[in-house]
Amino acid sequence: MFTDARGKTVVFVAHCILNQNSISDGTAVYPGFIQEIMEVLCTTHVGIVQMPCPEFLCLGLDRGNIDGSTSPVVEENTRIRETMGRRFAARKIEQLAQDLVFQISEYRKYGFHILGIVGINRSPSCGVDTTSKNNREIGGEGVFIEILRKELQKNRMDIDIVGIKPSEPGKAVKAIRTLMDAN
């Protein structure tokens, strides 16, 4: 089964790595995808799985605040984090995380290799090393990554999760290369 041309290796990436149009107002760094990361991934035979954008799906493109771009990013991110913590959003995030874990389990069932998951640091939802809280960028995970990690643990799945920042492409490329070398 699955002995066709597919390489049987996939990486899961935050939605906005492939589509900066989804990011909160005022924070896009590229017109489309994050070029430097895609240049690295395109030299490999890895399948790129675009994870859903949890904030877009819970709060819409404007994140529920049409004037979001007029506030300092970490302040707006703090507001977004608080809203993403509400019941309706928490339920949706949990479903998104479960759907991703299902995809991962299907790939694993058939011997595919999961290179890892790439999140976005400072994000109130997809932060891995840092997130936004109390109007600051602080160490810790975003609400989506927290739940995704719990779902992975619940299913006894040990998958590397790394965080990058679109505004720091050099470091981002290094993190992606490290992930590929380690896996």
14 binds ligand SF4 (CB under 6 A): yes
d(CA 12, CA 108): 13
Instruction: Count Cα atoms within 13 angstroms, Cβ side, for 114.
Output: 23
User: What are residue 159's phi and psi, to 5 degrees?
Assistant: -125, 135
Q: Under rule CB under 6 A, which residues in 24-53 are in contact with ligand SF4?
A: 53
Q: How many residues bind ligand SF4 (CB under 6 A)?
A: 13
18 binds ligand SF4 (CB under 6 A): no
Compute CA distances 45 → 40, 42, 51, 77, 178, whole Å: 11, 7, 19, 35, 16
Nearest CB to ligand SF4, comparing residues 22 and 183: 22
**Which of 10, 11, 12, 16: binder of ligand SF4 (CB under 6 A)?**
16
Task: At 27, list the tokens.
Answer: 């924070």
**Which of 10, 18, 23, 59: binder of ligand SF4 (CB under 6 A)?**
23
**Which of 34, 96, 126, 176: binder of ligand SF4 (CB under 6 A)?**
126
**Which of 83, 121, 123, 130: binder of ligand SF4 (CB under 6 A)?**
123
CB of 82 to ligand SF4, least distance (A): 14
Compute CA distances 31 → 43, 44, 76, 159, 166, whole Å: 21, 23, 21, 30, 12
d(CA 128, CA 122): 8
Q: Which residue has the tokens 């991934």?
A: 41
55 binds ligand SF4 (CB under 6 A): yes
Nearest CB to ligand SF4, comparing residues 33 and 56: 56
CB of 4 to ligand SF4, least distance (A): 30
76 binds ligand SF4 (CB under 6 A): no
Strands 47-50 and 9-13: parallel
15 binds ligand SF4 (CB under 6 A): yes
- Residues near ligand SF4 (CB under 6 A): 14-16, 22-23, 53-56, 120, 123, 125-126
